[in-house]
């Protein structure tokens, strides 16, 4: 199950993605025991993202997730898994492109050896570079800081 | 005998006579019917007259008695009043006498005091005159010396006064100098502070301008490069 969680979590890059998926899990859990004769993926139609619905369909195809209780347990465990993923807050001076976000994500995977969630915050006042916050610590690697140092 | 007693006495006499008359009348009726009507009337009138006479006499006696008593009482009161008046007169006379005595003694005391005071004044005047005369003599003899001494003392006084004034002015000047230097220092500090503030403001402006200029001149790929560099640096510093 851990591997399945990791596979699903790979698609979650930013904090916004995390919030969205947590909301979708809540919707799925609420619909799970309503009209049990209908499949959950059917009930989730137009209520969650297409990708999330597809993942549910895939799970339904595997017979072990056919019972409602199993599904409910799966959602609880997945939610718990997601909330344990560390968050890295990055304050940058520009609006990042999708490809750049993926690049950062990959960098963290490669250099930290684990999955992180990116919390990106755009602030042009830092001029360039980044301010980084991770596990309660933070450091200023911005150009703004460098310029201020020159005139100190 | 008082008025009430007299009245009771008169009433008893009247009722006695009336009883006798009634008894007599009834007795005459029983004994002899032959007595004529005229005689009866005559007796009756005589009794009435006699009764009236007695009554008037008693009335007169009572009145006389009462008047006599009143007169005696008035006499007693009159005597008492005269006695009281005599006593008052005597007391008043004694008072005036004492007052006169007091006045005389007071006058004599005042007179004596005044005489003593005048005497002492005269004595004092004589003493003072003698003293003045002595001082006069001393002054006459020591006139030149005193003038000299006064001159020296005056000069000394002027000298001391000048010295004091000079000291005072010096201390005043010192104080003013100190105040001026304090103020100058304050101004200097204020200037330094203000210059520092202005410099800070200028630097702040320069920084802001630099930030804006550099920020605008950086393209997306440079931004991305800078972020990646920041991550590498953080990794090197073992931030993660």
Structure ipTM: 0.89
Could you tell me what percent of chain B has a pLDDT over 70?
A: 95
pLDDT of residue A86: 96
Mean pLDDT of A47-73: 84
Q: Are the Cβ atoms of A151 and B207 closer than 8 angstroms?
A: yes
Verify whether the Cβ–Cβ distance B226 to A128 is below 8 Å: yes
Using CA coordinates, name the residue in chain B closest to A99. Answer: B224
Q: Residue A49: which residues within 8 A CB-CB, separation 6 or more? A: A20, A24
Residue from the list B223, B235, B240 with its beta carbon closest to the beta carbon of A94: B223
Asked if B239 lies within 8 A of A129 by C-beta distance, the reply is: no
Q: Out of A127, A130, A132, name the one closest to residue B214 (CB).
A: A127
pLDDT in tens, A19-35: 999 999 999 999 999 99
Q: Looking at residues A110-115, what average pLDDT do you find?
A: 93
Q: Give the residue-averaged pLDDT of B10-25.
A: 84
State which H helix or E strand residue B12 sits in. Answer: helix B3-31
A91 and A79 in a common domain: no
The minimal CB distance from A134 to the residues B210, B228, B239 is found for B239
Q: How many domains does chain A have?
A: 2
Q: What CA–CA distance (Å, rounded) separates A110 from A108?
A: 5
Tell me the pLDDT tens digit for each residue of B30-57.
666 665 678 878 888 888 898 889 888 9
Domain range for A105 is: 87-151
Q: Which residues are bridge partners to A138 per DSSP?
A: A133
Which position has the higher pLDDT, A8 or A99? A99
Greater model confidence, A126 or B138: A126
What chain A residue is nearest to B227 in terms of C-alpha separation? Answer: A129
Residues in chain A whose beta carbon is closer than 8 A to a beta carbon of chain B?
Answer: 90, 92-94, 96-97, 100, 103-104, 107, 111-112, 124-125, 127-130, 132, 134, 137, 139, 141-144, 147-148, 151
Q: For residue B223, give the nearest of A129, A149, A95, A72 by alpha carbon.
A: A129
| Same domain? A113 vs A145 | yes
Work out the minimum CA distance from B237 to partner chain A, whole angstroms.
Answer: 10
pLDDT of residue B25: 75
Confidence class of residue B217 from pLDDT cuts 50, 70 and 90? confident
User: In this structure, are A120 and A142 located in the same domain?
Assistant: yes
Q: Does B214 sit within 8 Å of A143, measured CB to CB?
A: yes
Q: What is the pLDDT of residue A100?
A: 97
Angle at A112 between CA A111 and CA A117, to 5 degrees: 115
Domain shared by A79 and A101, yes or no: no
Which pLDDT does position A88 carry in this prediction? Answer: 97
**Residue A93 reports pLDDT greater than 90:** yes
A17 contacts: CB under 8 Å, gap ≥ 6: A11, A117
Are residues A30 and A56 part of one domain? yes
pLDDT of residue B135: 86
CA dihedral B58, B61, B63, B64 (to 10 degrees): 170
| Chain A residues within an 8 Å CB radius of B215 | 93, 124, 127-128, 143
Q: Per-residue pLDDT averaged across B140-147, rounded? A: 81
Question: Do residue A57 and residue A21 come from a single domain?
Answer: yes
**A122 contact residues in B (CB cutoff 8 A):** none
Please tell me whether residues A77 and A16 are part of one structural domain: yes
Q: Where are the domains of chain B?
A: 3-98
Q: What is the pTM of this model?
A: 0.50
- State the best of B204, B206, B213, B215 to mutate against chain A, taking most chain A CBs within 10 Å: B215
Residues of A in Cβ contact (< 8 Å) with B206:
151
Same domain, A96 and A42: no
What is the reported pLDDT for B229?
Answer: 96
Report pLDDT for A43.
92
Chosen domain end from A29, A57, A83: A83
When pLDDT is averaged across residues B198-204 and rounded to a whole number, the result is: 84
Query: Across chain A, what does the average pLDDT equal?
Result: 91
Selected residue of A101, A147, A149, A152 to mutate for chain B interface (largest B Cβ count, 10 A): A147
What's residue A58's pLDDT? 87
Q: How close is the nearest chain A Cα to the Cα of B223, in Å?
A: 6
């Amino acid at each position: 199950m851990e591997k399945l969680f990791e596979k699903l979590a790979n698609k979650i890059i930013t904090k916004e993605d995390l919030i969205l998926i947590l909301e979708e899990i809540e919707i799925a859990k609420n619909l799970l025991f309503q009209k049990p004769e209908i499949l959950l993926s059917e009930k989730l139609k137009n209520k969650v993202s297409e990708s999330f619905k597809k993942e549910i369909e895939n799970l339904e195809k595997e017979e072990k997730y056919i019972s409602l209780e199993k599904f409910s347990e799966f959602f609880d465990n997945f939610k718990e898994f997601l909330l344990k993923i560390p968050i890295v807050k990055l304050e940058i001076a520009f609006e990042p492109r999708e490809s750049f976000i993926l690049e950062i994500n990959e960098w963290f995977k490669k250099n930290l050896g684990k999955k992180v969630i990116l919390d990106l915050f755009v602030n042009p006042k830092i001029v360039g570079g980044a301010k980084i916050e991770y596990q309660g610590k933070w450091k200023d690697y911005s150009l703004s800081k460098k310029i201020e140092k020159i005139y100190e | 005998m008082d008025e009430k007693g007299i009245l009771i006495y008169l009433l008893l006499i009247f009722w006695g006579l009336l009883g006798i008359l009634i008894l007599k009348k009834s007795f005459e009726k029983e004994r002899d019917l032959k007595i004529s009507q005229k005689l009866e009337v005559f007796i009756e009138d005589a009794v009435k007259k006699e009764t009236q006479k007695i009554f008037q006499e008693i009335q007169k006696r009572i009145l006389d008695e009462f008047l006599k008593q009143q007169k005696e009482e008035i006499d007693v009161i009159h005597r008492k009043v005269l006695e009281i008046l005599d006593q008052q007169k005597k007391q008043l006379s004694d008072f005036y006498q004492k007052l006169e005595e007091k006045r005389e003694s007071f006058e004599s005391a005042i007179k004596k005091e005044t005489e003593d005071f005048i005497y002492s004044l005269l004595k004092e005047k004589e003493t003072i005159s003698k003293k003045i005369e002595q001082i006069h003599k001393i002054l006459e003899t020591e006139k030149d010396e005193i003038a000299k001494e006064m001159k020296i003392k005056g000069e000394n006084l002027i000298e001391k006064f000048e010295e004091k004034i000079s000291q005072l002015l010096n201390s005043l000047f010192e104080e003013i100098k100190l105040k001026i230097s304090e103020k100058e220092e304050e101004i200097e500090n204020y200037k330094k502070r203000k210059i520092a503030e202005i410099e800070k403001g200028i630097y702040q402006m320069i920084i802001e301008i630099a930030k804006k200029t550099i920020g605008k001149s950086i393209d997306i790929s440079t931004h991305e490069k800078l972020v990646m560099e920041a991550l590498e640096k953080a990794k090197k510093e073992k931030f993660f």
